[in-house]
């Protein structure tokens, strides 16, 4: 991974920041992009203090101009992207009759439109044999009670990615879908996620990051298309 340009959109979140830390240790150049510029700068500063090569950029994944600016800044500063990590997203676990219309729209806008916009915009800025990582989570593969809007957004990411693998199979772009079970992140602290959970029984962001690094470290002749990773106590098959 040494000197590879890794763009992590959603790099200020628990999973994104853990991936940034792990890949930075492998010698990659890390770009942390998120809505919270100060948080992104804080993470980048910490990585650089540990010998890394990290940068922070703010982005609104639902704004075409903001995403285009992100792509241009990365290209001008570091060159083309080797790995795009779409680690952003918002959650909502509520009964369908209780979901606020605006909240539902925001989930769809960020999770679905944002994933489309970031991926579409960045593809021309990526090297040959590049890699795109998507995180539909297990709610993009299975469903549970009160997950209607959230699962709809995550199943959309699955369909979008699988269609792109067909569309771009001759373009030397690899895709990996990560179907993660519960991960111990601030996701569960959102008031819209009305679900009792035991964080101590969940996956750690660090274990997810190790799996991501292993996936990206395979020879260029191999690609892992799907990863299903769940807490031992919450397995779905």
CA atoms in the 13 A half-sphere facing the CB of 235:
3
Indicate if the pLDDT at residue 10 is higher than 70.
Answer: yes
Greater confidence (189 vs 98) lies with 98
* Number of independent structural domains in the chain: 1
* Mean pLDDT (whole number) for 73-100: 95
Which residue among the candidates 55, 113, 125, 150 is catalytic per the annotation?
Answer: 150
Q: Is the pLDDT of residue 213 over 80?
A: yes
Question: Is the per-residue pLDDT at 72 higher than 80?
Answer: yes
User: Is residue 231 very low, low, confident or very high in pLDDT (cuts 50, 70, 90)?
Assistant: confident
pLDDT digits (tens, 9 = 90+) for 146-191: 999 999 999 999 999 999 999 998 888 999 999 998 887 777 777 8
- Token match 């959603």: residue? 10
Q: Are 213 and 224 in contact (CB under 8 A)?
A: no
Residue 88 pLDDT > 70 = yes
pLDDT at 116 over 70: yes
Domain that residue 50 falls in: 5-234
Residue 199: per-residue pLDDT:
76
Which CATH number fits the domain that encloses residue 68?
3.40.50.720
Residues 6+ away with beta carbon under 8 Å from 97: none
Q: What is the pLDDT of residue 54?
A: 97
3 state SS of 143 = coil
Helix (H, G, I), strand (E, B) or coil at 88: coil
- Give the full edge-to-edge strand order of the sheet including 29-34: 53-58, 29-34, 5-9, 81-86, 126-134, 173-180, 226-229
Does residue 150 have an active-site annotation? yes
């Amino acid at each position: 991974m040494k000197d590879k340009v890794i763009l992590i959109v959603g790099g200020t979140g628990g999973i994104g920041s853990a991936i940034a830390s792990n890949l930075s240790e492998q010698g990659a150049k890390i770009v942390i992009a998120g809505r919270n510029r100060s948080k992104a700068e804080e993470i980048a500063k910490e990585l650089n203090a540990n010998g890394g090569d990290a940068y922070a950029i703010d982005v609104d994944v639902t704004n075409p101009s903001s995403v285009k600016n992100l792509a241009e800044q990365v290209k001008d500063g570091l060159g083309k992207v080797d790995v795009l990590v779409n680690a952003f997203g918002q959650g909502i676990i509520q009964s369908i009759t209780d979901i606020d219309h605006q909240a539902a729209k925001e989930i769809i806008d960020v999770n679905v439109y944002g994933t489309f916009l970031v991926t579409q915009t960045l593809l021309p800025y990526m090297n040959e044999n590049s890699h795109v990582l998507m995180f539909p989570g297990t709610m993009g593969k299975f469903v549970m009670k009160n997950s209607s809007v959230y699962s709809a957004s995550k199943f959309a990411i699955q369909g979008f990615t699988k269609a792109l693998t067909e569309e771009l199979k001759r373009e030397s772009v690899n895709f990996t879908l990560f179907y993660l079970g519960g991960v111990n992140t601030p996701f569960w602290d959102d008031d819209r996620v009305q679900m009792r959970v035991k964080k101590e029984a969940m996956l750690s962001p660090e274990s997810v990051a190790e799996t991501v690094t292993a996936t990206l470290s395979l020879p260029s002749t191999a690609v892992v298309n799907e990863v299903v990773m769940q807490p031992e106590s919450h397995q779905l098959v």
